[in-house]
Structure 1
Amino acid sequence: MIECQNDYNGATMHNVLEILENIQNAIVALLYEDGTPIEAKGVGRRVLDMVHMLYNSEMGNKGFAYDGEKTLFTVGPLPGTKLEFPVVVENLSSNRTARGGIPEGVETKRSRRPPQSKSYIVKINYATKIPIQAIFKALQGQDSDQFHEAVRVLDILLRQHAAKQGCLLVRQCFFHNDPRNFISIGGGVLGCRGFHSSFRATQAGLSLNMDVTTTMIVRPGKVVDFLLENQNARSMREIDWVKAKRTLKSLRIKSFPSNQEHKIIGLSERSCGEQRFSLRQKSGGSPGETVEITVYNYYAKHHRIEVNQSYDYPCLDVGKPKRPVYIPLELCELLPLQRYTKALSNLQRASLVEKSRQKPQDRMKSLTDALKQSNYSADPVINSTGITISTTFTQVEGWILDPPKLKFGNGGDLLPRGGRWNFNNKTFVEPTQITCWAIVNFSARCDTNNLSRDLVRCSQAKGMRLDKPYKVIEERPEFRRAPPPVRVEKMFENIKRELPGPPYFLLCILPERKNSDIYGPWKRKCLVDFGIVTQCLAPAKVNDQYLTNLLLKINAKMGGMNSLLSVEYMHSIPLVSQTPTIIIGMDVSHGAPGRSDAPSIAAVVSSRKWPLVSRYRASVRSQSSRVEMIDGLFKPVAPGKDEGMIRELLEDFYQCTPKLKPDNIIIFRDGVSESQFNQVLNIELEQIMEACKFLDETWKPKFVVIVAQKTHHTKFFQTKSDYNVPPGTIIDSQVCHPKYNDFYLCAQNGPIGTTRPTHYHVLLDQIGFSADELQELVHSLSYVYQRSTNAISVVAPICYAHLAAAQMGQFIKFDDASDTTSNHSGSTSGGVNQLPRLHEKVCSSMFFC
């Protein structure tokens, strides 16, 4: 048993039911004075604040919570069901425009009032009472479909409180404009540390879940400085203006000398010194003739500012598509707390991970400071609900599961310590033999002779038979600057010339670490066109530990096993080893942010050769972008023909197990939120059941469905300890759901940063596992990941599904969808480019390992 502190804070609920039951919902319409709706975001809160200040008595002296869009919540009813208030708001961001693309600051006939004020009309219409009773039903373990709707109201209270403090809001995460919270990750991008705060129903009651979180923002300051850093340019001459336009679009700036705020919509077509616009000159008190003038000359003549630095470069366009407004670059500064939503580079991502880490005690201090800074007790609207928030961490008790014993070669057993083990003086439990193989080198600086010699030596120590490579094939110098697909094609021409026949295995040396451009085309060529198992590497420092880790992947890909669970080897896993059981892992991988053209990749892996639970194969499909539910599990295309993923996996199980159908199907699903649990059961599980019925109408297997969540905000800390909770820590009380079967597991060793537990939700259990049996099974499946000598944070089937989706996603070049060829059904489905079929020689392998 272990005593932990959880980063939940209790929300005291004494005598608040009656107050909360009076929370009402109203619809807010924000209009300009001519009656047209306001489309700009960020205006609503300032307008509603002015309404509260001017018309508090007309609103019955009631505080309200506003979601920033169209919904308003009040404690108790407003004086009427329909209210309307005129408001004039000063000092709002101005995007005043004029015909002809004039610079900001020029007076026009549209300027009928002081330039920094606008008139609005606010209409508030009563909608409904909020079903707050749903929260109390959930706390008592009763079903309530309206729980999420009700708790959203309380979360909006927290959002509004943070907005009043000037925070950047990202859903339920809040970020203060404090340079102490900023970490530079390069390219003009900062990591901004903030905190997550939301209400949850737990066994201990209504709780406030807080956690440290980080988002990406652009570095505030001069636009020119940001562009130079973002593109790693030494001068403005080196800037790629097409890329700059994409990066700057929708960012907000402050311009000088007017000190006004604007949103960037693009860049001018010509340079500041050449871009002209029509300026109507004044003659006495009336408008005079219209003259053409450049942006540069306008600022020099009318503002006495010579923008020499911007003379040869585009201006920022802050107007509207048909009414441009131009401002020279050097007169603009980026405002603080603006999110950077573009995909990060590998170096930026690595820097973010490294600099965002916090030791457990540092994280606890950050959370304590965040709660103090939030000062929820001072918010009158929160106070009016009767809710008070504790300032201490919740105390919970956890259990530590013993690590499972592992089986190695030559009858050797090992009990991992601290979630880790190694292969020193041990051999693989099922080593493979590799006879005909070769090394290909894409111009990397690498001593291939030493590499091959040391790899053969290490493989022998692990029990593998790895012959000397037949040939080391070097890339020809003239192709080093060719496009990646061309380089791969030329390399295979060399392979055909140099080798007597198709190789059994190819070791590929890449020139760049991380994601080399060659990786996707190379993997596709090997796995799709030729059916050759391949392992890529980009060695920086090669030693025996590096080579052993490499051999773990190679042995698994080639059909071997590195280690097994002892209970698996002895066929003694409760309810799994006695009855034919297939274990399935499912995950969906989405494209980078902002890439709406990139399809999502769904991957499903399944266990093979029951009663083993350590060997898997994968089935992968593409589907519509950003769709989380997998739609390719069951695909009947003709009478008696199903091209779905589950049929493919079930037939494989039947073939590699002595003609047995699985009576038990255990499903692990990754990447879905609590609001999607019903969809997992009603859409995905329904497809799987249909696929089973399609194969055999009399076959009725039993199902277990478990959702694993890694992207949550719950952390655990040991009381009076600077270290993370030990590997194997289980939390299944107090902070878990009041009704459903869920638990937190920290299977992994956390030497760096603060351990993130995996939250497992058991949505369905027809097999009848006890709580201890199911937790032991989940814990054990964290130790069967063949490419690692550590317990991993989530069960291996989910990790394999994630790897398979990521690797096959590399096969498609999304920048040009026309390049995509070959799909499962011979045509695209709903406009989504389908992934190619893997070659029959490798489709059942652990190619993703």
Structure 2
Amino acid sequence: MNVLGRESITEILQTYNSDLAEKRFAYDGEASVYTVGPLPQNNFEFVVVLEESIPKRRNPSEDGIENEPYKRSKSSLQSKTFKVEISYVAKVGLNSISEPEKNQDALRVLDIVLRQEADKRGMFLEIGEGLMGVRAFDSNFCQTLGGLCLNMDVSTNVIFEPGPMVDFLLANQKINETRDIDWGKAKKMLKNMRIMASHSRVEFKVIGLSEKPCNQQLFSPGDDEESVEITVYDYFVKRRNIKLVYSSNMPCIDVGKPTRPNYLPLELCLVSVQRYTKALSINQRASLVEKSKQNPPDIIQAMKCNYVEDHILFDCGISIEKNLTQINGRILDTPKLKVGNNEDCIPKNGRWNFNNKKLLKPSQINLWAIVNFSERSDCSQIARELIKCGREKGINIERPHTIFEEDPKCRRATSPVKRVEMMFKQIIDELPNRPDFLLCVLPEKECDIYGPWKKKCICGLGIVTQCISPTKIDDQYLTNVLLKINSKLGGINSLLEIEHSRQIPLVSDKPTMILGIDILHSGSNVPSIAAVVGSRSWPMISRYRAAVRSQSSKVEMIESLFKPLANGEDGGIMRELLLDFYETANERKPTQIIVFRVGVSESQFSQVLNIELDQIIKAYKHLGRSHEIPKFTVIVAGKNHHTKLFQDSDAENIPCGTVVDTNIVHPTNYDFYMCSQADTVGNSEPVHYHVLLDEIGFSPNDLQNLVHSLCYVNQRSTTCTTIVAPVFYARLAAEQMSELTNFEEYSSETSSGEKSVNVPELPRLHKDVVASMFFC
């Protein structure tokens, strides 16, 4: 949101109300405002004066008291004058609002009106560790089978808590003294953060930290390369006459370019308001869930209490029904599972367990070891409990060959990559052969050892590994660990009963491949990661292989499904997956392919068919038999639609397996909502499935049951997934590969505005794990 723009519009409406004929504005947060009817004239020019609050921080060392916690001082006010011009651009007619083919512009304007009203009703939640939650009301108009509807939802976004940078670092690392700041963690956290320089009010993006503290870091203040270098501290204190209280012994914030750093003392940096897009810590996630959870009655009441009739909508002649839309839904039968000893397992509320049950196809683990990077874990106990739990689930696990303990001197003095290399030197020296797998014990879940360790194992040496950071060890925790290990080693935890008996309509009788496609976007200048998983070992639909590639930042369509090379070969994703299907399906090519795509908007549906599906077909033809094109069913799964479903007369969530395909669906397209998971906290959110193409010819009932069943093939835990497992796995594969890759250098080069560089490739998986479910 453009805060400055919104404040300027508010000031204009208050100061120049009579000049504007008391018209109300709907502001889009960018450069456009909308009114009902014309303004008195086509062009205006206003002078606006805004006051902003500048937070300060006082260090007790000014009073001669060292090493005490910092305390806030009162903020000061600073006035700034702006010139704002408003000019007539175009007229948007609302007469077309009831015509689905012509009402896009009108609906877009009405959505802006709604969003402006919703923004006034947001509230903040304290999450901790330097983050805040912003509870907001999302609303938009949409055309449905039942007519024009208002879609409303309550959601919570996470932002950085704005204020002095040092406040954020202390809160983020849960410490009181700046001397205790872990600058390695700080550098990772601050990368790409937007900050404002308090002395200039200019906003920058952080690219890193200086190598030396502020009072030692030299730079040349002039454009002349021969100018005398000066420390950052002396430059600001002596040349800019800016008093620095506590920055002298801290690193500087680098907001420049790789070839020309631009250093700012830490205390002159303010954290700007911005979305937080990294993973939340365990404590942050728990706090967010606790403070933002709302059960169905709470959500309904919040929307009713907070909805205010908007004056601009009233001026447009639009009224909104206050009661929720009444619809009918169906509840699909829960899929049965087949587990070990040919036993049936019937999930309840989307969950099942292996109490007194064995895995369907357990692995044999002969040679393995535990690698311990944690000071607090009892690895001998972990080994005993894991072996015991494995025996109960049918996995025969021998005693670990060795427990490798990290030298305590390495933990603080060595980089994560070096620590991993030193540990592997011990492993290679002591283990007689390649281990079946390595259990890695980490000190915490979000640990900088994770990426280098995984990369070394699955890319460098081809060793299956499982990382854990247990806070408590019980049967449920160890069972979930064993499910992941068994899947990675090629075992099978469970199958659908209809899969096991080959009774899936239109799938079990013809070679059918199922694809899940997703793209992970990490930042504005960071390459995106495209991941596709493909089913293998047909007629099974519970085993998958992943293929992952990097591509240009923020590009929504996958660029390498089909990738012709100079030598005439195909180096794309689909060749890899099609060959794997052929090899694991008794040398049969797929005659049917079901594609599940996630992460695209309705405006991009045609691109999925014209670009991505076309690439898949080209990859298939490239393998030969170009006249035998398989039949395709293409489905887009959407989660960011803000549609919620409630039971009419019950405070509980809707049952898992609920399907809605009437009233609130698209008036002409083939789509449906499905809620596969029964959440115990908050409100269950259905997934919106759009069927773009169905050459295979599923009946609606068969297709919906297949989609529902694919939420129960999850091999990594004993809960069904909220979305079909193939796209769930694709996201896991993309996230796993992003942990192995350091795109910082590429990001810095592209953000510097210098010549474009090629997108760096992802590290290649070792041949011994490339076909495994390494992402589980």
TM-score (structure 2 length as normaliser): 0.82
Whether 1:360 aligns to 2:296 is yes
Q: Distance in 2 between matches of 1:245 and 1:806?
A: 20
Q: Distance in 1 between matches of 2:290 and 2:84?
A: 49
Q: 2:692 aligns with which of 763, 780, 785?
A: 763
Whether 1:578 aligns to 2:509 is yes
Once the two structures are TM-superposed, the CA of residue 451 in structure 1 deviates from its matched residue by 2.6
What's the % identity of the aligned pairs?
A: 47
The aligned runs of 1:737-776 (5 Å cut-off) are 737-776=666-705
Residue aligning to 2:726: 797
User: Would you say how many aligned residue pairs link Structure 1 and Structure 2?
Assistant: 707
Residue aligning to 1:376: 309
Q: Distance in 2 between matches of 1:357 and 1:699?
A: 52
User: Which amino acid in structure 1 is aligned with residue 31 of structure 2?
Assistant: K
Whether 1:490 aligns to 2:422 is yes
Q: Distance in 2 between matches of 1:428 and 1:608?
A: 19
Which stretch of the first structure deviates more once superposed, 123-132 or 774-783?
A: 123-132
Once the two structures are TM-superposed, the CA of residue 71 in structure 1 deviates from its matched residue by 3.0
Which stretch of the first structure deviates more once superposed, 346-355 or 675-684?
A: 346-355
User: Which amino acid in structure 1 is aligned with residue 673 of structure 2?
Assistant: Y
User: Which amino acid in structure 1 is aligned with residue 385 of structure 2?
Assistant: D
User: Which amino acid in structure 2 is aligned with residue 837 of structure 1?
Assistant: R
What SS is found at the alignment partner of 1:609?
A: coil
Q: 1:678 aligns with which of 591, 606, 614?
A: 606
What SS is found at the alignment partner of 2:467?
A: strand
Q: Distance in 2 between matches of 1:209 and 1:786?
A: 35
Residue aligning to 1:281: none
Gaps of at least 5 residues in structure 1 are 1-37, 96-114, 139-143, 168-173, 176-180, 256-260, 279-293, 297-307, 318-323, 821-828
Q: CA distance change for structure 1 residues 673 and 353 in 2, over 3 Å: closer, same or farther?
A: farther
Once the two structures are TM-superposed, the CA of residue 475 in structure 1 deviates from its matched residue by 2.5
Q: Distance in 2 between matches of 1:565 and 1:731?
A: 24
Residue aligning to 2:590: 662
Residue aligning to 2:221: none
CA shift digits 1:398-443 (9 cap, x unpaired): 1111101111121211222222211122111112222222222224
Q: Distance in 2 between matches of 1:70 and 1:630?
A: 32
User: Which amino acid in structure 2 is aligned with residue 198 of structure 1?
Assistant: N
The aligned runs of 1:77-116 (5 Å cut-off) are 83-91=42-50
Residue aligning to 1:731: 660
CA shift digits 1:508-559 (9 cap, x unpaired): 222x221221111111111112111111112222222222211111111111
- The answer to which structure, 1 or 2, has the higher relative contact order (CA under 8 A, 6+ apart) is 1
Q: Distance in 1 between matches of 2:628 and 2:205?
A: 61
Q: CA distance change for structure 1 residues 773 and 191 in 2, over 3 Å: closer, same or farther?
A: same
Q: Distance in 2 between matches of 1:85 and 1:818?
A: 42
User: Do 1:692 and 1:699's aligned partners in 2 also have CA atoms closer than 8 Å?
Assistant: no
Once the two structures are TM-superposed, the CA of residue 232 in structure 1 deviates from its matched residue by 4.3
The aligned runs of 1:326-405 (5 Å cut-off) are 338-339=273-274, 341=276, 343=278, 345-346=280-281, 347-371=283-307, 375-377=308-310, 379=311, 381-405=312-336
Residue aligning to 1:100: none
User: Do 1:86 and 1:119's aligned partners in 2 also have CA atoms closer than 8 Å?
Assistant: no
Q: Distance in 2 between matches of 1:550 and 1:237?
A: 38
Q: Distance in 2 between matches of 1:357 and 1:455?
A: 34
Residue aligning to 1:539: 470
CA shift digits 1:576-596 (9 cap, x unpaired): 0011100000111121xxx43
User: Which amino acid in structure 1 is aligned with residue 30 of structure 2?
Assistant: E
Once the two structures are TM-superposed, the CA of residue 353 in structure 1 deviates from its matched residue by 3.1
User: Do 1:726 and 1:749's aligned partners in 2 also have CA atoms closer than 8 Å?
Assistant: yes
Once the two structures are TM-superposed, the CA of residue 662 in structure 1 deviates from its matched residue by 0.6
CA shift digits 1:721-750 (9 cap, x unpaired): 221111111111111111111111111121
User: Do 1:452 and 1:468's aligned partners in 2 also have CA atoms closer than 8 Å?
Assistant: yes
CA shift digits 1:202-242 (9 cap, x unpaired): 12211111111123355578887666545645357777999
Residue aligning to 2:759: 832
What SS is found at the alignment partner of 2:539?
A: coil
What SS is found at the alignment partner of 2:88?
A: strand
Residue aligning to 2:775: 848
Q: CA distance change for structure 1 residues 736 and 476 in 2, over 3 Å: closer, same or farther?
A: same
Whether 1:422 aligns to 2:353 is yes
What SS is found at the alignment partner of 2:389?
A: helix
User: Do 1:270 and 1:313's aligned partners in 2 also have CA atoms closer than 8 Å?
Assistant: no
TM-score (structure 1 length as normaliser): 0.75
Q: Distance in 2 between matches of 1:447 and 1:240?
A: 26
Residue aligning to 1:508: 440
Q: Distance in 2 between matches of 1:734 and 1:708?
A: 19
Q: CA distance change for structure 1 residues 276 and 493 in 2, over 3 Å: closer, same or farther?
A: closer
Q: CA distance change for structure 1 residues 217 and 527 in 2, over 3 Å: closer, same or farther?
A: closer
Which stretch of the first structure deviates more once superposed, 758-767 or 352-361?
A: 352-361
What SS is found at the alignment partner of 2:646?
A: strand
RMSD: 3.8
Q: CA distance change for structure 1 residues 192 and 63 in 2, over 3 Å: closer, same or farther?
A: closer
User: Do 2:526 and 2:743's aligned partners in 1 also have CA atoms closer than 8 Å?
Assistant: yes
User: Do 1:429 and 1:562's aligned partners in 2 also have CA atoms closer than 8 Å?
Assistant: yes
What SS is found at the alignment partner of 1:480?
A: helix
CA shift digits 1:452-499 (9 cap, x unpaired): 233223222222232232332333344333211112112221112111
Residue aligning to 1:781: 710
Q: Distance in 2 between matches of 1:688 and 1:800?
A: 19
Gaps of at least 5 residues in structure 2 are 55-77, 207-213, 215-230, 254-261, 750-755
Q: Distance in 2 between matches of 1:539 and 1:63?
A: 56
Q: CA distance change for structure 1 residues 619 and 155 in 2, over 3 Å: closer, same or farther?
A: same
Which stretch of the first structure deviates more once superposed, 476-485 or 403-412?
A: 476-485
User: Do 2:596 and 2:636's aligned partners in 1 also have CA atoms closer than 8 Å?
Assistant: yes
Q: Distance in 1 between matches of 2:370 and 2:163?
A: 50
Whether 1:436 aligns to 2:367 is yes
Residue aligning to 2:88: 125
User: Do 1:443 and 1:480's aligned partners in 2 also have CA atoms closer than 8 Å?
Assistant: no
User: Do 1:440 and 1:473's aligned partners in 2 also have CA atoms closer than 8 Å?
Assistant: yes
Q: Distance in 1 between matches of 2:296 and 2:597?
A: 29
What SS is found at the alignment partner of 1:715?
A: coil
The aligned runs of 1:517-532 (5 Å cut-off) are 517-532=448-463
Q: CA distance change for structure 1 residues 509 and 311 in 2, over 3 Å: closer, same or farther?
A: closer
User: Do 1:527 and 1:838's aligned partners in 2 also have CA atoms closer than 8 Å?
Assistant: yes
What SS is found at the alignment partner of 2:439?
A: strand
CA shift digits 1:36-55 (9 cap, x unpaired): xx997446524753697243
Which stretch of the first structure deviates more once superposed, 448-457 or 652-661?
A: 448-457
User: Which amino acid in structure 2 is aligned with residue 122 of structure 1?
Assistant: E
Q: Distance in 1 between matches of 2:29 and 2:20?
A: 19
User: Do 2:534 and 2:546's aligned partners in 1 also have CA atoms closer than 8 Å?
Assistant: yes
Q: Distance in 2 between matches of 1:239 and 1:479?
A: 18
Once the two structures are TM-superposed, the CA of residue 564 in structure 1 deviates from its matched residue by 0.6
Once the two structures are TM-superposed, the CA of residue 698 in structure 1 deviates from its matched residue by 1.4
Whether 1:71 aligns to 2:38 is no
Larger radius of gyration: 1
User: Do 2:166 and 2:266's aligned partners in 1 also have CA atoms closer than 8 Å?
Assistant: no
Residue aligning to 1:150: 106
What SS is found at the alignment partner of 1:619?
A: strand
Q: Distance in 2 between matches of 1:686 and 1:807?
A: 28
Residue aligning to 2:633: 704
Q: CA distance change for structure 1 residues 804 and 248 in 2, over 3 Å: closer, same or farther?
A: closer
User: Which amino acid in structure 2 is aligned with residue 366 of structure 1?
Assistant: A
Q: Distance in 2 between matches of 1:228 and 1:440?
A: 31
Which stretch of the first structure deviates more once superposed, 459-468 or 742-751?
A: 459-468
User: Do 1:528 and 1:839's aligned partners in 2 also have CA atoms closer than 8 Å?
Assistant: yes
User: Do 2:160 and 2:276's aligned partners in 1 also have CA atoms closer than 8 Å?
Assistant: no
User: Do 2:118 and 2:138's aligned partners in 1 also have CA atoms closer than 8 Å?
Assistant: no
What SS is found at the alignment partner of 2:503?
A: coil
Q: Distance in 2 between matches of 1:526 and 1:117?
A: 56
